[in-house]
Chains A and B, each alone.
Chain A
């Protein structure tokens, strides 16, 4: 049994029942939420991102006054904030899947997930504050 991947189950000193050993090894049943959240945020981003892109072309983003005038309209400001929140959420979820697939070290994996969440949340918050400043100043 030396080469069996299940050798923990055949340990002579471990007197726990088979059930006690099996509990906790399977799915924790929390992945469904991640899967759904990724799909829902994706569907929300389909119209939102297309609308944003068309606005960016029309408002011409290299012209200061035109860009500010667009952000000061109600759909412009609200839509931009919605897009920042949704895309940050979708980015966090998507990058987490890639880390979980390819980063083998548990410590690095968890650190990367947390760092990504922190970066996206900071980015979204900074973006929202700038939009609010532009609207109310």
Chain B
């Protein structure tokens, strides 16, 4: 390498703490959401192809594994969003005390779980109110 640039340390040499776990989770959910971007694009392509291709595409996500993926994307979305706001507070210089780092981390994680639950409650109650069977 001509100009060696500094690289992040390998993850496996550190003991996992809440702070590092949440930091890794932020990146992990970011990668997972990147895949979700292409699922959204696929949804639009299927819709542009007409009702049959749309229904085929939607059916992929109405089986248990597909639904689990949707729950994963939903949690990833809320966690990445809320933790991103936590990052923005850090960028403005707030919340750097080790106590507040832990407090905001726990808050973000619990809020993300709650929002995921509420979203799926709303989505499925609407789905069931249309008189369809689940899955």
Q: How far is the CA of A100 from the CA of B88 in the complex (A)?
A: 21
Identify the closest chain A residue to B122 (Cβ).
A57
Q: Given known contacts A57-B122, A64-B55, A101-B8, is B41 in contact with A123 (CB within 8 Å)? A: yes
Count the B residues whose beta carbon is within 8 Å of the partner chain — how many? 38
Interface residues of A in 84-120 (CB under 8 A from B): 84, 87-88, 91, 94-95, 98, 100-102, 104, 106, 119-120
A131 beta carbon closer than 8 Å to chain B: yes
On whether the beta carbons of B47 and A91 are closer than 8 Å, the reply is no
Q: How far is the CA of A39 from the CA of B92 in the complex (A)?
A: 11
Q: Write out the residue numbers on chain A whose beta carbons fall within 8 Å of the beta carbon of B41.
A: 84, 123-124, 126-127, 130
B79 beta carbon closer than 8 Å to chain A: no
Q: Write out the residue numbers on chain A whose beta carbons fall within 8 Å of the beta carbon of B123.
A: 57, 60
On whether the beta carbons of B126 and A131 are closer than 8 Å, the reply is no
A98 to chain B, nearest CB (A): 6
Which DSSP category, helix, strand, loop or mixed, fits chain A's interface?
helix
Q: Write out the residue numbers on chain A whose beta carbons fall within 8 Å of the beta carbon of B119.
A: 53, 57
Q: Write out the residue numbers on chain B whose beta carbons fall within 8 Å of the beta carbon of A57.
A: 119, 122-123, 126
Rank and list the top 9 A-B pairs by shortest CB-CB distance, nearest first.
A130-B48, A130-B44, A101-B8, A127-B41, A123-B41, A62-B58, A91-B34, A64-B51, A127-B44
* 18 sampled A-B residue pairs with Cβ under 8 A: A24-B3, A25-B3, A42-B88, A46-B85, A49-B81, A53-B119, A57-B126, A61-B43, A64-B54, A64-B55, A84-B41, A95-B34, A102-B7, A104-B7, A120-B34, A124-B41, A127-B40, A130-B45
